[in-house]
Amino acid sequence: MFKTFTLVGIFMILGLLASGQTMPVNLDDLKFDSPTEQAYWEHHTVSQDHLSLFRAVHASESQDSKKWDELISVLDKKFEKKGKSENFIRTIFEKSHQNLFKSYEKHATFNQMLNDGRFDCVSGTATLGMLLDRYGFEYDIIETDYHVFLVVNHEEKPILLESTLRVGGMITSPSEVEKYIQAYLPEEKGNYLNLNQRIGSPDILDSEKTIFRKVSLSQLAGLQYYNDAIMHFNEQAYRVAASQLEKAHNLYDSDRIEGLKDLAIDQAYKNLGVDLKK
């Protein structure tokens, strides 16, 4: 695949990347864990509010949006002064770390981040993506085998945001952006990813470089459900895993999601004698 590229080449690669497929959402087909989770989905369906989708996993009535609202208030004031600039992108990145990204923890959910500051690459990238959307920036979210990050296209210059790195996580040098992306490009010798390993680690193994594609915020929310489903799958709670994967698949028609869903259904029948197809 792509091995060397210039500044123009970076954007060519991002432009050529296939995007994940989104399924039409039918709420009647889904089993929700709580009325609060269902309310978040219904709100997203009506308003296309991505925040609702990310708050839907392990939704709680007592969970408020105070920290999120405070961050928005700070950034709105900064935007009035700095406008749509590289400096403001840095402000988004730094304020997100100051206000929300307190401690990195693999597979932490968006609600855990709002509650106590635990975050991972999915919840961190979701935060940065929604904020960039709010202020009108163009960007691409990149999904790899076990990690996600985003690249902002600002004035024809790529700016890479690696949410898991408080220091050095905003990469503005085109050569450094190239170096970072190069490390994640698929290898011909790469083996297919482990379906029951969650997304959340920036660590790279050559044998695990098989996925490199653009995803939307809705699809990223699907990957958060996928992560949660893997936790239940590994605990042999196959019915719950299959339910979470059905929601994930409604948001993101992905081979990895569909594959694990089929595996959960198969394991439920083999190990528990439960037919989840009924």
Q: Can you give the residue ranges of every domain in the chain?
A: 84-215, 217-273
| Amino acid 136: pLDDT | 97
**Span of 46-50, 54-58, 59-63 with lowest mean pLDDT:** 59-63
| Amino acid 103: pLDDT | 96
**Span of 75-89, 201-215, 244-258 with lowest mean pLDDT:** 201-215
| Amino acid 271: pLDDT | 81
Where residue 87 falls among pLDDT bands split at 50, 70, 90?
very high
| Amino acid 203: pLDDT | 57
pLDDT at 1 over 50: no
| Amino acid 105: pLDDT | 92
| Amino acid 3: pLDDT | 44
Rounded Cα distance between 150 and 159, Å, is: 8
Output the average pLDDT for the chain. Answer: 86
Rounded Cα distance between 138 and 258, Å, is: 30
Rounded average pLDDT over 222-251: 93
Burial of 126 (0-12, 13-18, 19+ CB in 10 A): buried
